[in-house]
Amino acid sequence: MKAPAAPQGQLSGTRSSAVYALLLTLGVLDASGYSLIAPVLPALAQQTGSGATEMGILVAAFPLGMIAGFAAGGRAVRRMTSAAVITGGLLLVAAGCLGFILGTELAVFVVARLVMGVGSGCLWLGITFTTLAAWPGQEYLCTSRVFAAYSAGGLLGPLLGAVQGVRGPFAAYLVLVLAAALPVVVLRPPSYAGALTADRRALRSRGFWAAGAGIVLAVLALGTVEGVLPLHFGTRLTQSQIGVLYAATSVLVAVAATLAARLTPRRALTAATVPVVAGIAAAGAGESVLVWIGALAVAGVGIGMANTGSIGLLLDAVPAQRIVTAMVLWSQIGILGYLAAPALGGPVADAYGYVAVAGVVAVAALAVPLTLGRPGRT
């Protein structure tokens, strides 16, 4: 992958390529922490004697921490260097990993997952704002590649989670997180201080809220797939098999996100609603592995399209130079979906069965056309 040309005075030559590669690698690493938990959920449930509701709380702790991390990161990006924000995020993620390696109780795991979420929120903002500031004029191209890297992280996470037991996956992830801290310090990514500003006026635009509805749908669906359905799949699949299934689904998410860039953001987001809901409903209703494979493939395509459509609407609605406030709030809105998915989906699954969790996703899907309004108004 060829790095985009660097603006004069910021990055050039070999260092530009190295920093760009580092940011993409960090995106892969950050995203793998999201999906790492999915294959481990059945083992965690067995070890702690917990059901879907308790596991939903555990999964929800991560996005709850991310919301706090977005708030902290939003303040930090105006006062600290890129390297400091990214390194701080990595250290928090590492601390959370230790909780899973050393802990044995559900309460410890919940706190550890919360801390990992705070670190992930800081990482996301550090990566995104560094990318926007380092390559002005190429924001959509560069951020689309960052999202592609996050999709690749959705492939790595389940593979790490496929390691048997609870401690093994988090120990492997901890090694990667600590290894990533050194190049951040050595390369010193360019600071975004002064390059990006905040503008609350953007929050009043229809395009911003349409982008918010889109990212809620995408992340709510992802949270349902990763935070609720693994317990259903665990009735027939081993931890390793769940990891492979989720890794394959992540490939489809990445491919769909890339191909959706050929559509307008509005069309990509509108087209995403049906496969997202239908795929999750089929996965919850199905009782065979073949049905689950097909259902997750359909849902993955929808999630990828929703991701691309949402970021496209955001960049259309808000100039990159004034995107700080909009990006922070858009990120917080989106991650609420990842919080709501297990928090609501777990109790719904316990009470009405796994097929019913598609109803939670359907509500978010209905909000998309309402916020989009008529063509030409976003």
Provide the percentage of residues in the chain whose pLDDT is more than 90: 36
Of 22-31, 133-142, 200-209, 295-304, the range with the lowest mean pLDDT is 133-142
With respect to residue 25, please indicate whether it lies within any of the assigned structural domains: yes
* Pair 1, 142: CB distance under 8 Å: no
pLDDT interval class at 5 (50, 70, 90) = very low
Joined together, the tokens standing for residue 172 give: 């492997």
The stretch 127-146 carries a mean pLDDT of 70
Chain mean position to CA 228: 16
Of 44-53, 130-139, 198-207, 213-222, the range with the lowest mean pLDDT is 130-139
pLDDT interval class at 199 (50, 70, 90) = low
pLDDT interval class at 139 (50, 70, 90) = low
Name the average pLDDT for the chain.
Answer: 84
With respect to residue 377, please indicate whether it lies within any of the assigned structural domains: no
Structural domain boundaries, residue 82: 13-372
pLDDT interval class at 290 (50, 70, 90) = very high
- What's the CA gap between 59 and 55, in Å, rounded? 6
By C-alpha distance, which of 235, 350, 245, 232 is closest to 294? 245
Of 164-168, 186-190, 357-361, the range with the lowest mean pLDDT is 186-190
Provide the percentage of residues in the chain whose pLDDT is more than 70: 86
The pLDDT of residue 172 is 94
Strands (DSSP E) contained in 143-223 are none
Sign of the Cα pseudo-torsion (131, 135, 137, 141, in order)? negative
Place of tokens 């708030």: 71
369 vs 128, more confident: 369
pLDDT interval class at 203 (50, 70, 90) = confident
The stretch 69-90 carries a mean pLDDT of 82
With respect to residue 2, please indicate whether it lies within any of the assigned structural domains: no
With respect to residue 325, please indicate whether it lies within any of the assigned structural domains: yes
pLDDT by residue (tens digit) across 229-272?
Answer: 988 998 999 888 988 898 888 888 888 887 887 888 899 999 99
344 vs 135, more confident: 344
* Pair 282, 297: CB distance under 8 Å: no
End-to-end CA distance of the chain: 32
The stretch 64-82 carries a mean pLDDT of 82
The stretch 90-111 carries a mean pLDDT of 94
pLDDT interval class at 308 (50, 70, 90) = confident
223 vs 91, more confident: 91
With respect to residue 337, please indicate whether it lies within any of the assigned structural domains: yes
Q: How many other CB atoms are found less than 10 A from the CB of residue 362?
A: 16
pLDDT by residue (tens digit) across 309-367?
Answer: 998 898 888 776 667 778 888 888 888 888 888 888 888 998 999 999 999 999 999 99
Residue 7 has pLDDT above 50, yes or no: no
The pLDDT of residue 210 is 92
With respect to residue 137, please indicate whether it lies within any of the assigned structural domains: yes
The pLDDT of residue 97 is 96
Joined together, the tokens standing for residue 334 give: 């989106």
With respect to residue 149, please indicate whether it lies within any of the assigned structural domains: yes
Question: What length is written for the chain?
Answer: 378
- Domain with residue 67: its CATH number is 1.20.1250.20
Residue 193 has pLDDT above 60, yes or no: no
Residue 197 DSSP class: -
Joined together, the tokens standing for residue 135 give: 């390559």
One DSSP character per residue, 75-91 reads HHTTTS-HHHHHHHHHH
User: Number of folded domains in the chain?
Assistant: 1
* Pair 302, 374: CB distance under 8 Å: no
The pLDDT of residue 169 is 93
Sign of the Cα pseudo-torsion (160, 147, 149, 244, in order)? positive
With respect to residue 366, please indicate whether it lies within any of the assigned structural domains: yes
The pLDDT of residue 198 is 58
